[in-house]
Amino acid sequence: MARTLPPLNAVRVFEAAARLGGFTKAGEELAMTQAAVSYQIRQLEDRLGTPLFVREARGVTLTEAGRTLARRSGEALDLIAAAMQEVRHGAQEVLTITVIPTFCSNWLVPRIGAFQAAHPKLAVRIDSRPGIVDIRAGEADIGIRRGRGDWPGLEKHFLFDDAVVPLVSPAAAERIGGIARPEDLLKLRLIGPMEWWRLWFDAVGCPHVSLPAEPALALETQTLEVSAAMAAGDAAVIVSPFYFQALLDQGHLLQPFETTVSDGRRYFLVYDPARKHLPKIRAFIEWLLFDPHAFCLNRAAMASLPGPAALTPPP
């Protein structure tokens, strides 16, 4: 007999909202907007024919039906996660890494071969799709994330601050007769988040410059934005120089000013503490954090970034 079940994603969203006590916190954990969380829960309520939350100005509280479903759905999701982990146990030699696209293409991919050479029996799968992958649900073994470190239930190791700075192509610098002052960059199209540009101009003592409301071009990754700026020859892009050191060393990009800024977000290595002793996960942690031929080599090339002593969990 076929089971009558609601969409699993709606149940997952409801369980997170019930466990965390609010739609906003559930959205933060699941990388969804509050509106998307509210929509999923409303769909579930419509399907069940009963409200699951009492919505008030100060927040939401579970109804009696909501409390019953929260308890049962939490148990059910735990059973599903345990079953998936049990199945994956047979595929122990596949390591799935979730990583943001720019870190993936500009740092991890060129170096992952060294990790595999040291662990020839371990296959690696890299998931670089945008959005947060649910590590605790077993969608990945380990991840590299950018944020403020507020990911409940995950153990994290600080890697480096996300410091950004304007970069230009030689053609762009030549086009405007060179770049001697920060204001010279305003002669070029500005690519990258305008809040980063405002932070940077404030940091170099130009808080009153007039900036466009929107960037000339907004793309999904820093890699694409740098490629667009280099191809156009009339733009400046604000990105992390960490990822583009090779282009800087080769003279394909120029960094006119030393001052970097950060919006407070940082890069972290994250994983489920319940699974950190699995050999494949432990191997990647040790390689990334402690192998001098992996992360520390790149760290040494960037004097503006923290030294190896920072490779510890944040307080």
pLDDT digits (tens, 9 = 90+) for 163-178: 999 999 999 999 999 9
- Per-residue pLDDT at 92 exceeds 80: no
Q: Is 304 among the domain residues?
A: no
* 119 within some domain: yes
Examine the pLDDT at 91 and tell me if it is beyond 60: no
pLDDT band at 280 (very low <50, low <70, confident <90, very high): very high
* Domains identified in the chain, total number: 3
In this structure, is residue 117 part of a structural domain? yes
Residues 66 and 110 occupy one common structural domain: no
Residues 75 and 52 in one domain: yes
Whether residues 32 and 153 share a domain: the answer is no
Residue 308 scores a pLDDT above 70: no
Provide the residue range defining the domain that includes 46: 8-87
Position with higher pLDDT, 209 vs 297: 209
Residues 218, 83 within the same domain = no
> Is the pLDDT score of 162 beyond 90?
no
Angle between helices 279-290 and 109-118 (to 10 degrees): 120
Can you give the pLDDT at residue 79? 82
Is residue 140 located within the same domain as residue 188?
no
Sequence-ordered alpha helix ranges (H) in the chain: 8-20, 23-30, 34-48, 64-89, 101-103, 109-118, 170-175, 194-203, 222-232, 245-249, 279-290, 295-300
Residue 301 in any domain: the answer is no
Residue 134 falls inside a structural domain: yes
In this predicted structure, the answer to whether residue 161 has a pLDDT above a threshold of 80 is: yes
pLDDT of residue 186: 96
More confident residue, 100 or 290: 100
- In this structure, what token pair is assigned to residue 270? 């994250």
Residue 81 lies in a domain: yes
Q: Give the residue-averaged pLDDT of 196-203.
A: 96
In three-state form (DSSP H/G/I as H, E/B as E, the rest C), the secondary structure along 148-178 is CCCCCCCEEEEEEECCEEEEECHHHHHHCCC
8 A C-beta contact, residue 304 and residue 260: yes
- CATH number for the domain including 114? 3.40.190.10
Q: With a cut of 50, say whether residue 207 has pLDDT above it.
A: yes
pLDDT band at 208 (very low <50, low <70, confident <90, very high): very high
CATH of the domain at 245: 3.40.190
Q: Which two tokens stand for residue 304?
A: 């503006």
| 299: pLDDT strictly greater than 50 | no
**Last residue within a domain, chosen from 87, 106, 141:** 87
Residue 204, pLDDT > 60, answer yes
Assess if residue 152 is contained within a domain.
yes
The yes-or-no verdict on residue 302 having pLDDT over 80 is: no
Same domain as 193, residue 144: no
Q: Is residue 205 part of a domain?
A: yes
Whether residues 150 and 172 share a domain: the answer is no
Structure pTM?
0.60
pLDDT digits (tens, 9 = 90+) for 93-136: 899 999 988 889 888 888 899 899 999 889 999 998 877 888 98
- Most confidently modeled range among 85-99, 149-163, 280-294: 149-163
Residues 170 and 114 reside in one and the same domain: no
What Rg, from alpha-carbon coordinates, does the chain have? 23
* Same-domain pairing of 25 and 68: yes
- Residues 130, 272, single domain; the answer is yes
| CATH of residue 38 | 1.10.10.10
Would you place residue 89 in the very low, low, confident or very high pLDDT band (cuts 50, 70, 90)?
low
Q: Pick the last residue of a domain from 66, 87, 108.
A: 87
- On average, the pLDDT of the chain sits at 85
- Same domain for 176 and 207, yes or no, is yes
**Are the beta carbons of 311 and 159 closer than 8 angstroms?**
yes
Cβ atoms of 29 and 145 closer than 8 Å? no
Between CA 71 and CA 62 the distance in angstroms is 11
pLDDT of 30 higher than 80? yes
Banded pLDDT at 307 (limits 50, 70, 90)? very low
Rounded to an integer, the average pLDDT of 269-283 is: 91
Residues 283 and 136 in one domain: yes
Confidence at residue 282, expressed as pLDDT on a 0 to 100 scale: 92
The pLDDT tens digits of the residues spanning 4-15 come to: 778 888 899 999
Question: What's the pLDDT score for residue 28?
Answer: 86
